[in-house]
Structures are given as C-alpha cells and as structure tokens.
Amino acid sequence: MKMVKVDPFREIMDVRDSFDRFVDNFLGRSSLWGLEEWRPAVDIYEDEDNIVLRASIPGVKKDNIKITLTGDTVTLSGKSEETKEVKRDNYYRKEIRTGSFTRSFSLPCPVDRSKVSANYKDGILEVTLPKAEEAKAKEVQIAVK
C-alpha cells in the first residue's frame, strides 16, 4: 500500500473548489464569491514512470501559461485574454471565460525536475513529470542463506 502525505489545507481547498463549481453550475454564476475566477479542468494520472497532468485551457496562448514546481506541488497559472471586445449592453449569454487562473496540486511522489516536459496542442496542456528514481518501484531479491 502506498503512503500518501496528507495536507488538510489542500483537502479543504479541494472541497471548496468542488462546492464552488457545483454552485456555479447550479446558479449559472461565474464564482460563488462573486469574483471572475476561472478554473480549467484538469486530469492527473500516473503510470510506472511518470505523473501526467492534462489541463483543458482552450484559447490561452502558450506564452501566457506558466508551470511552477515548488517542493511537492505543481502550479499551473495563466491568463486568457478576450481577443475581440463586443460593446453591447444586452448579452443573451456569455459563458466563454477570460481572465487569470491558478491551480495547484500536490504530487504523490518526488519527480525528476530536470526531465519535466510540457506540450500544448489544441487547447490541451500536457505536463509530464518523470518520477525520481527513488520513487519508482524496485523489486528486491531475497537472498537464501
């Protein structure tokens, strides 16, 4: 069984994010707290050698995306700018989000920072975080005496 480091503050923030998304969808508002906040959808999975983070950030220029590794946390931040300003008072619907975003995630194991790579295509950012050698599973041979 894998030991997982517990971060109560991060867990509280995850619950808040989930609750905010629920209320946003239910009420059709941009944010529970009335702020223009955008949280791109993210998938995170791991295989034998890597942790992979995929984020859906369509319409964001590559130069406006920042990926930061601090300790055991990876942070995505960026800014989506509205390319065409429409000066109308009466929108029927305005769902395309613009503005800044920041998402942080705790990593389940150490990563080799020198080998981290990122690709951005068709609005999907894929960050590959290779596991550090000490984090990879290693089979131990049993000696017979």
Residuewise pLDDT in 10s, the chain (145 residues): 566 677 777 778 778 777 777 776 665 555 444 445 678 899 999 998 999 999 999 889 999 999 999 988 999 999 887 666 666 667 666 666 677 889 999 998 899 999 999 999 999 999 999 999 887 777 788 888 8
Alpha-carbon gap, residue 40 to 42, rounded angstroms? 6
Alpha-carbon gap, residue 128 to 126, rounded angstroms? 6
pTM equals 0.66
Give the strand pairing for 50-56 and 124-130.
antiparallel
**Is the CB of residue 15 less than 8 Å from the CB of residue 32?**
no
Say what the pLDDT of residue 82 is.
67
CATH of region 40-82+96-136: 2.60.40.790
Cα four-point dihedral sign 33, 80, 74, 55:
positive
Alpha-carbon gap, residue 131 to 70, rounded angstroms? 15
Alpha-carbon gap, residue 22 to 15, rounded angstroms? 11
- Hey, which residues does 73 pair with through a beta bridge? 70, 106
| Domain boundaries along the sequence of the chain | 1-37, 40-82+96-136
Helix (H) or strand (E) holding 24: helix 8-27
Say what the pLDDT of residue 35 is.
47
